[in-house]
Every structure is written in structure tokens, then in C-alpha cells.
């Protein structure tokens, strides 16, 4: 069974963290992954930096630019991760845009992910129809979960289609804005979270965009299986470096 599916069976709300590979320093990637697992997170999204990250807010965009300037590439990321399963057991997901994967070669990219022990991919700019018709069989051959995204603007019909071709979980974008937006969720978002829960989809949902503290984590996971923190963690990395994340992670999971 895929590590993501195993983790989703656990009886608690899941915390996933996103960071950009090669940030703040080119060789921080493995250190960050190992220290985040030690801090008690459930899953990890490794961002493959891209020059035109449309869905990302200014914090993650800046980390991508710095990582690219540091020299991060797809090939280098795979080299850095080649022994990661000797020290890390939590699910690892690569989040990136489709162009670098196409340039690497989809079959070769998926094969490398399987070899290293990557469990899934999140590709915001890969349309579900294209994935379903052209790439689903390749991903599944290499044991990769492709995590598809929904937003408040996605129709119920479209959501049910996405659910039907998904495995693992569905990435529920909390709003139509980019990552790293305003703190706190209003009635619009909480009504949306409940609307999706009421659809009773076969795949659990994990909420991303706008999660930054215990309050937003709690709100996001009232009707969902878990939540993802990206921009708030990148800010923590920028300020504190790549070593100890215990206080950051415990502040999300525990009410102050």
C-alpha cells in the first residue's frame, strides 16, 4: 500500500508541510526533510522550483527564485533524494509545475520518483482531463498518487469527476487566491469546507492555502482530513534556518 494511503487511515487530523527544494541553501533539502519528520509532521511536500509559479504567492515565489539561483534543478533534486528512504519514512510528495517534468520526460520522471521512494505528485497546471487521458496509466504503473486540486469555484459535477479519477486525497484549495493569503477563514470558506464534506467523496480532502497557525489548522480540518502549511513555514525557514522545527510544528497542532 502507498504510504499516503497508509497515513490517511490514521485516526487523527494530518499536518502536511510544504517547502521549496534548494531553499534557503542548495544543500538544505535533506536536512529539512529529516528535521520535519523528527518534529512530528505527517506528510511532506517538496516543491520543485519553477520560474513562473502561477499558483504561488510572493513568499513561495521568492523561495523558488532563490532556489533556482542557488542552482536547483530536477536532476539535482533527484540526486539529493537518492538515499532519503534510509532515514525518512513519512509520505513524500513532489509538488511542481508540468513543464519541468515534461522536459525531464514523464516516464523517466515517474520512474525516478518510484526508484527514490516518492509517493505522489501535485501538479497544479496539469488539467484533470489531460492527466486522465494521457498520463494516469504512467503514474499508476510507478505507484504514484496524483493529487488533484479543487477550488470554491469548482462545480459539484467537476468535483465528482475529479474524485472518480483520483486516488490518495484531494487537495482542497481554500480560496481562489494564491498561497500565503490573509490569516483566518470567514463564512465563505467554512461554508465551502462543509459543502465539500456533504458531497461524501470517496477520497479524503486535505486543505491548502491560508493555513498558518493553530486556529486556521483547526478551522480547515473540522470537515477535512488534514491541512497543508506552505508560506508560513517558508517564512519560518527564512528567519530561523533549517534545523529545529519542533516549536513551529507544535504551535500548529496545539492551542496556545
| pLDDT per position as a tens digit, 191-232 | 999 999 999 999 999 999 989 999 999 999 999 999 999 999
Per-residue pLDDT band at 47 (split at 50, 70, 90): very high
pLDDT over 90 for what percent of the chain? 83
Residue 121 has pLDDT above 50, yes or no: yes
Mean pLDDT over each residue of the chain, to the nearest integer:
92
CATH number, domain with residue 154: 3.20.20.70
The answer to whether 250 and 38 are in contact (CB under 8 A) is: no
User: Which of 15-29, 84-98, 156-170, 234-248 shows the lowest mean pLDDT across its residues?
Assistant: 234-248
Name the 3-class secondary structure at 11: coil
Query: Is 10 considered catalytic here?
Result: no
Give the pLDDT confidence score for residue 256 in this predicted structure.
Answer: 45
Given CA atoms 91, 160, 181, 68 in this order, what sign does their dihedral have? Answer: positive
Query: Is 56 considered catalytic here?
Result: yes
Give the pLDDT confidence score for residue 141 in this predicted structure.
Answer: 97
Closest by CA position to 234, among listed 64, 78, 26, 51: 64
What's the number of domains the chain is made of?
Answer: 1
Give the pLDDT confidence score for residue 195 in this predicted structure.
Answer: 94
Per-residue pLDDT band at 253 (split at 50, 70, 90): confident
Give residue 136's domain range: 3-253
Mean local confidence (pLDDT), 114-132: 97
The active-site residue out of 37, 45, 119, 163 is 45
Give the pLDDT confidence score for residue 220 in this predicted structure.
Answer: 93
Per-residue pLDDT band at 75 (split at 50, 70, 90): very high
Residue 112 and residue 88: Cα distance in Å, rounded? 17
Give the pLDDT confidence score for residue 178 in this predicted structure.
Answer: 45
Cell 496545539 -> residue: 254
Pairing between strand 170-173 and 92-95? Answer: unpaired
Cα–Cα distance list, 240 to 46, 89, 132, 225, 232 (Å): 19, 25, 41, 29, 12
Mean local confidence (pLDDT), 60-66: 90
Global confidence as pTM: 0.93
Q: What angle do CA 123, 128, 132 make, to 5 degrees?
A: 110
Closest by CA position to 116, among listed 162, 156, 176, 76: 76
The active-site residue out of 56, 83, 115, 222 is 56
Cα–Cα distance list, 25 to 93, 217, 238 (Å): 20, 28, 10
Give the pLDDT confidence score for residue 53 in this predicted structure.
Answer: 57
Amino acid at each position: 500500500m502507498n504510504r499516503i494511503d497508509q497515513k490517511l487511515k490514521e485516526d487523527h487530523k494530518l499536518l502536511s508541510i510544504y517547502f521549496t527544494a534548494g531553499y534557503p541553501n542548495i544543500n538544505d533539502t535533506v536536512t529539512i526533510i529529516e528535521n520535519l519528520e523528527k518534529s512530528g509532521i505527517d506528510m511532506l511536500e517538496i516543491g520543485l522550483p519553477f520560474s513562473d509559479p502561477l499558483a504561488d504567492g510572493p513568499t513561495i515565489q521568492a523561495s523558488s527564485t532563490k532556489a533556482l539561483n542557488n542552482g536547483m534543478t530536477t536532476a539535482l533534486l533527484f540526486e539529493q533524494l537518492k538515499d532519503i528512504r534510509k532515514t525518512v519514512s513519512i509520505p513524500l510528495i513532489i509538488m511542481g509545475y508540468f513543464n519541468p517534468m515534461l522536459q525531464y520526460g514523464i516516464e523517466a520522471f515517474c520512474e525516478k520518483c518510484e526508484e527514490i521512494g516518492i509517493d505522489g505528485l501535485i501538479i497544479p497546471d496539469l488539467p484533470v482531463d489531460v492527466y486522465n487521458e494521457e498520463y494516469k496509466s504512467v503514474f499508476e504503473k510507478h505507484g504514484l498518487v496524483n493529487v488533484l486540486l479543487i477550488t470554491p469555484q469548482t462545480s459539484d459535477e467537476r468535483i465528482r469527476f475529479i474524485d472518480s479519477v483520483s486516488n490518495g486525497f484531494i487537495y482542497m484549495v481554500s480560496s481562489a487566491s494564491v498561497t500565503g493569503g490573509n490569516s483566518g477563514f470567514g463564512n465563505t470558506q467554512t461554508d465551502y469546507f462543509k459543502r465539500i464534506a456533504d458531497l461524501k467523496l470517496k477520497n479524503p480532502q486535505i486543505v491548502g492555502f491560508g493555513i498558518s497557525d493553530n486556529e486556521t489548522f483547526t478551522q480547515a480540518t473540522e470537515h477535512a482530513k488534514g491541512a497543508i502549511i506552505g508560506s508560513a513555514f517558508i517564512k519560518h525557514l527564512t528567519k530561523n534556518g533549517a534545523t529545529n522545527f519542533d516549536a513551529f510544528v507544535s504551535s500548529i497542532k496545539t492551542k496556545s
